[in-house]
Amino acid sequence: MATIKDVAREAGVSVGTVSKVINNIPVKPATKAMVENAIKKLNYEPDVYARGFKMNRTNSVAVILPTIWNPFFSELAYNIEKNLSSFGMKMILCNSEDNQSSELEYITMAKQNKVDGIIAITYSDIDKYVSTNIPIISIDRYFSDSITYVSSDNLTGGKLAAEELVKSGCKNIAYIGRGSKINNATRNRKKGFVGYCEENNISYKVCDSLGSSKEFDSILNNFLIDNFKNNIKIDGIFTITDEYARDVIKRLREFNIKVPDDVQIIGYDGSRSSAKDTIEISTIRQPIELIAKESVSSLIDLIDKKEVEKEIVLPVKFIKGYTTK
């Protein structure tokens, strides 16, 4: 394969001049033409990796997710990659599985300029490692006033879920979802739900916990026994995600509770497992495409040292599925 030296020899110029042409640094038009002809003739492909090394750009972005094996995260990653690709950038994908050390590894990569920036959804406690020195966009997670985060309008989403349940005739509604100890924007889903109920004097219950998923499993089980086993005390449920909604539906089947006849359920996310899939559960849909687009364009602004809004909150909407009347 032709090297930059071959091109220089062919064009009768120095390697430095070829490098200038490749990197769009002005040279005499005649010189430029000679170099371009030599590049064409020799079918020379400038090594972008080497250029990235020299210019301190890799044109790659690390995307850290709990796991790509999940409809919401795979739809999000699909859209992030499409957006990055339109800017000529590559996506390095990391399944953190909430493992702090693998998240820190990618933060170190960004500090060492091995990636240009990071888009992260993380639930672990990495605050002290994240600084404004590295371009980072956080999805659904508030770090500090100096780090941009992008999220759906969780507060309105929680309100909307309560409102829709009430509109469909529910009188006794509940919120179900495991919380997170860190300052996660998804907390606002519960806040919006509870706020709506209190403002409108709606009777509500809350089933949540900041503990492990194992702990929450038994809390949820007891909650469902209390409210459904002997008689039905709840007629509407809002779950923190669609995944929780599916889980609750499965558990209620064991008590012979019918959805939506006995209890109506609204989830949150509205992701589909593929583009061909349809939304089956009534849900508050996150604008996944828009979250991806805003995350990528804000990250590129950060990499280019431009000013970026610190909080980007994007609108949600209710989508009716089979789980509400």
Interface residue list for a second copy (CB under 8 A): 1, 45, 47-50, 53, 58, 60, 67-71, 73-75, 77-78, 81-82, 85, 90-95, 102, 108-109, 111-114, 243, 247, 273-276
> In the complex, what is the shortest distance from the CB of residue 211 to a second copy, in angstroms, rounded to a whole number?
18
Q: Which is nearer to a second copy, 192 or 267 (CB)?
A: 267
Give the count of beta carbons closer than 10 Å to the beta carbon of residue 205.
Answer: 16
Rounded Cα–Cα distance for residues 173 and 190 (Å): 12
Task: Read off the amino acid at residue 11.
Answer: A
- Angle, to 10 degrees, between the axis of helix 213-224 and the axis of helix 242-253? 50
How many CB atoms lie under 10 A from the CB of residue 257?
Answer: 19
Could you tell me where the beta strands, DSSP code E, fall in 140-244? 149-152, 172-178, 203-209, 236-239
- Give the residue with the Cβ less far from a second copy, 188 or 323: 323
Nearer to a second copy, 59 or 180 (CB): 59
Question: In sequence order, what are the beta bridge partners of 38?
Answer: none
Nearer Cβ to a second copy (28/54): 54
Which of 101/230 has CB closer to a second copy? Answer: 101
Shortest distance in whole angstroms from residue 204 CB to a second copy:
26
Distance CA 7, CA 119 (A): 38
The minimum distance between CB 212 and a second copy, in angstroms, equals 15
Q: What are the residues whose beta carbons fall under 8 Å from the beta carbon of 75, sequence distance 6 or more? A: 271, 272, 288
CB closer to a second copy, 78 vs 142:
78
Q: Residue 165 Cβ, how far from a second copy at the closest point, in Å? A: 24
What would the two tokens of residue 17 be? 């001049």
Report the amino acid identity of residue 183. Answer: N
Minimum distance of a second copy from residue 155's CB (angstroms): 26
Q: Residue 157 Cβ, how far from a second copy at the closest point, in Å?
A: 21
Give me the residues paired with residue 265 across strands: 237
